[in-house]
Amino acid sequence: MIVGVLNQKGGVGKTTIAVNLASCFSRSGRRVLLVDADPQGSALAWSAARQVDPDFVVVGMAKPTLHREMPTLAKNYDMVVIDGAPRVNELGRAAIMASDLVLIPVQPSPYDVWAAAETVQLIREARQFKDSLRAAFLINRKIANTAIGRDFHAALAQFPETPVLDAALIQRVVFAESAARGLSVLEVAPRGEAARELQRLADLIIADKERQAA
């Protein structure tokens, strides 16, 4: 299964989520490939900051032909996670076309809702060629112990074909602390709250994979 973590908006948590999801999937025994599809090379930089190799493979592939190369790339893996590039539409399109499921991280702010329209539009266009494509919003950097405003949910509901996943990630300092050392949250604090939330997200994705396969 190929999971694209994509949003044309910068800084919403794509790399953070992609790296940690890859780590989550590989800890549950799956063969995992993390594709850095961003010319900034942030996932590759994460991997280079490590003392030891991660227990999954990281490759750079910031190319508008990613979707064509994906079948060959993905052949020997159970799960592929794509860390998407912001802003560049042709890279966004290729990453969307390469994915079975697109996760769109959004922070609970009106700016993120306004900016989401662009990514949703790319997904609409991609569905004309690939109607099996699935996509969902993933709320990231939610402030702990706050209800997400009804207005925020209502605003996201203007994109009815893109549901909001029932697995938000909370704003937590462990995400930046672990990244600085080239580690995943699961390596730094495997029993922490952030690890538990990531595991819940990974479980939802695997359940989706199994439903599609059934």
Neighbour order of strands in the sheet with 2-5: 57-60, 32-36, 79-83, 2-5, 101-106, 134-139
Which 176-195 positions form the footprint of ligand ATP (CB under 6 A)? Answer: 176, 179
The verdict on 20 binding ligand ATP (CB under 6 A) reads no
Joined together, the tokens standing for residue 32 give 């995992």
61 binds, among Mg ion, ligand ATP, none (CB under 5 to 8 A by kind): none
The verdict on 10 binding ligand ATP (CB under 6 A) reads yes
The residue from 4, 6, 14, 27 that contacts ligand ATP (CB under 6 A) is 14
Joined together, the tokens standing for residue 28 give 């549950």
Residues with Cβ within 8 Å of residue 185, at least 6 apart in sequence? 20, 23, 174, 175, 178, 192, 194, 195, 198
176 binds, among Mg ion, ligand ATP, none (CB under 5 to 8 A by kind): ligand ATP
Which 26-45 positions form the footprint of Mg ion (CB under 5 A)? Answer: 42
Relative orientation angle of helices 66-74 and 89-98, to the nearest 10 degrees: 30
Number of residues that bind ligand ATP (CB under 6 A): 19
Q: How far apart are CA 167 and CA 4, in angstroms?
A: 16
Between 147 and 176, CB nearer to ligand ATP: 176
13 binds, among Mg ion, ligand ATP, none (CB under 5 to 8 A by kind): ligand ATP
In the complex, minimum distance from the CB of residue 178 to ligand ATP, in angstroms, rounded to a whole number: 9
The residue from 120, 167, 175, 198 that contacts ligand ATP (CB under 6 A) is 175
In the complex, minimum distance from the CB of residue 13 to Mg ion, in angstroms, rounded to a whole number: 8
Which phi and psi (to 5°) does residue 138 adopt? -125, 115
Between 26 and 107, CB nearer to ligand ATP: 107
- Compute how many other C-beta atoms are within 10 angstroms of the C-beta atom of residue 118: 14
Helix, strand, or coil (residue 149): coil
Positive or negative torsion for Cα 81, 86, 89, 91: negative
Give the footprint of ligand ATP on this chain (CB under 6 A): 10-16, 38, 40, 42, 86, 140-141, 169, 171-172, 175-176, 179
Give the footprint of Mg ion on this chain (CB under 5 A): 14-15, 42
